[in-house]
Structure 1
């Protein structure tokens, strides 16, 4: 699995296997996702080609586009590859942003276990390689009159962590970078450029 060709073959095999099992369709490469597929494969297997694609290996990936364009699918395929090969370099934990909201609310509703200002949720997701699925789908929370944007806090926290240790963040979202700026503010928007390779996925929904 050291060469790009080998990894590409494996990626496409797992992609077809996953989609046939789940949706009875094959993985299609077209003008809308060709660059994204090449970038993703190069990111994990061919750093020289990644440089040609203007990618940076020390940054994570920010996939953005409309619903059903395949943003989260890339990480599902990677998880299938990891299940077969158990290569630590391919292990990326996926966390849905809505689940983060539920976890935060559960934290606050259990005062015997955690104090209201306990930061254990942030500590839990502060390190390691994590894919935050569906950025922007999470709700804004209100805690004692204060507005809480969990993903805004986590992005800034992981930005600080990544400056000290290896800590890559991956995002799939319907929000373009500019829409993320409107949702999370200029401070978060500015950090995105140091943290991510931005990869658009356009076109209509691929879901049948």
Structure 2
């Protein structure tokens, strides 16, 4: 018995694959069309998926829909989160937001700007590190450009401490963590230290936009 897998939005039906033997078999061409439609409805008609980013987007889609066989071929571990890196303006945040729409039948992650977390820490203190360290699935968006946290005169590398806290529960207890960043591995180590960088290797799949990916905001 086979049926269509579709998402209905704004009076439109988007067929993204077929359900066979209780498993969704996705049509990745249809997924890309849906993501572009969704991006245009959210960000405006100028939103497009650039062909130069095709490999990056394909890997992210395979991971998001949890296609185990494909992810194995691509070297992606579904037990780990996503470390999404790329140049400024390449579309990391927009894409990580849009991908959640592919899986309305599953609990997904919140996308939280790293700077907002630091601002909350500056107001509420170390409770914020505990809260995010123990939170459900999250994407820490745009890490590396947030200011240093400061509470009662004491500096704190807030995002680094949250990552360590989440690692200490990793796996199988901790819900997945994802991050987006403009930084490369060496810059991550300089910003957060070798302790955080070494833990990241065990927590994340690295997916990167090409270095010559266009600035979509221009």
Query: Normalising TM by the smaller chain, what interval?
Result: 0.7 to 0.9
Mapping of 1:1-208 within 5 angstroms?
1=5, 2-5=24-27, 9-19=30-40, 21-31=42-52, 33-45=53-65, 46-81=67-102, 85=104, 87-89=105-107, 91-108=108-125, 119-125=126-132, 126-144=134-152, 146-202=154-210, 203-208=213-218
How many residue pairs align between the two structures? 192
Q: Is 1:12–1:27's contact at 8 Å kept on the other side of the alignment?
A: no
Q: Write the distance in 2 (CA, Å) between the matches of 1:159 and 1:58.
A: 13
- Calculate the TM-score normalised by the size of structure 1: 0.83
Q: Which shows bigger deviation, 99-108 or 14-23? A: 14-23
Contact 1:43 1:50 in 2 (8 A): yes
The answer to which of 122-131 and 91-100 deviates more is 122-131
The Cα RMSD (Å) is 2.0
3-state SS in 2 of match to 1:88: coil
Give the structure-2-normalised TM-score.
0.79
Which SS does the other structure have where 1:57 is aligned? Answer: coil
User: For 1:1-51, what per-residue CA distance to the aligned partner results, in whole angstroms no more than 9, with x for missing partners?
Assistant: 42231x6524531333323552322422423x2221111111122110111
Structure 1 contact 101–139 (Cα < 8 Å) conserved: yes
8 Å Cα contact 1:71-1:172 kept in structure 2: yes
> Which has the bigger relative contact order, CA under 8 A and spacing at least 6?
1
Q: Which runs of 5+ in 2 are unaligned?
A: 6-23
Distance 1:10-1:75 versus aligned 2 partners, 3 A rule:
same
Q: Would you say the 8 A contact 2:84–2:207 is kept in 1?
A: yes
Matched-pair contact (CA < 8 Å) for 2:64–2:99: no
Distance 1:99 1:159 in 2: 21
Measured against aligned partners, the alpha-carbon deviations of 1:81-107 in whole angstroms (never above 9, x if no partner) come to 45xx3x224x11011011111111221
- CA distance in structure 1 between the partners assigned to 2:109 and 2:26 by the alignment: 19
